Amino acid sequence: MALFAFMSINPEDLYFPLDDVTIKRVDEPKNIDAPNFTNSWMAINENEFRMEVENVGKFYAGYGNIVQFAPGPDATPSSLELYLNGSVYGAILHQRKTLPIHGSSFIFNDKGVLLCGESGAGKSSLTAAFCIHGAEFLTDDVTPFQFEDEKPLIIPRSDRVKLWEDSLTQLSENKGDLNKIRPEDEKYYFPIKQSSHKYYPLHFVFIIRLKDAGSVEFIPVSKTEAFTSLYSEIYRLHYLHSMPVLKQNYLKKIASICNHSAITIVNRPAEISIKKMHDALSGYICKPNIKQY
């Protein structure tokens, strides 16, 4: 069964957020002749990226417009997409000097909202909750930015969110025919209509942090603290150690986000329900005295 899946996977079967990238299945992805960093599973420089994931496959991303992949013996379309739409997508964005932030985003109350935070903070489940209740979906997990007159604009490039079975249950959604991301996990791709906007202005950034108990806390942060907090949310930040020219480019872009959006730390109780968290966040965004951009 695994062999049949391996043999039948072709580029046209796989979702990738960018339609101007050439994606090819190959027997062996291109090697990088002069990496700035290499280890047992990854090699990278300013223009090229190569990665090997055990059983899933080998991947190459180059010059912002080329992707190659060689499926592993246990590869499925969903498992390949997990890495294509994650690490490989991040590499392509970095090569294009398109700032990617690790977060999910949507339009609510005519405002562009970005949710950041550690794994398990609820970025995807909250985004899904807002969109199920009428918000317009923009991105999940990786949010790329365009800048015009130094103002940050979200580039919508998603048509799905990744949700655990528990989140689907809380959202009253059935896993039904949803595709599992990996066979061993109860995590699924949940489709949401892709935005028709080419870009959308960013107004609010919420950096969600988990705490043991208590109530939801919203703590607006100063520009200095905001810069430090937001810089750490760059998607695949460790790539930048091998891309020093890009690192300098991003410093100005992070500063622009801090200057043109309200950045707030959200302390979220670990056990709070998605609904209660949705209600708390939507109430905060709609407060009349909150600083607007």
- Domain boundaries, given as residue ranges, for the chain: 2-95, 100-285
Rg over alpha carbons for the chain, rounded to the nearest Å, is 19
3-state SS class at 143:
strand
3-state SS class at 63:
coil
| Cα three-residue angle 227-149-154, rounded to 5 degrees | 65
Amino acid at 46: E
| Whole-number Å distance between alpha carbons of 91 and 57 | 16
The model's pTM: 0.92
In this structure, CATH architecture of domain 100-285 = 3-Layer(aba) Sandwich (3.40)
One pLDDT digit (tens) per residue for the chain, 293 residues: 344 445 578 898 899 999 999 999 999 999 999 999 999 999 999 999 999 999 899 999 999 999 999 999 888 888 899 999 999 999 999 999 999 999 999 999 999 999 999 888 999 999 999 999 999 999 999 999 999 999 999 999 889 999 999 999 999 999 988 988 887 889 999 999 989 999 999 999 999 999 988 899 999 998 888 999 999 999 999 999 999 889 889 999 999 999 999 999 999 999 999 999 999 999 999 987 666 55
Other C-beta atoms closer than 10 Å to the C-beta of 227 total 18
| Cα three-residue angle 140-144-147, rounded to 5 degrees | 145
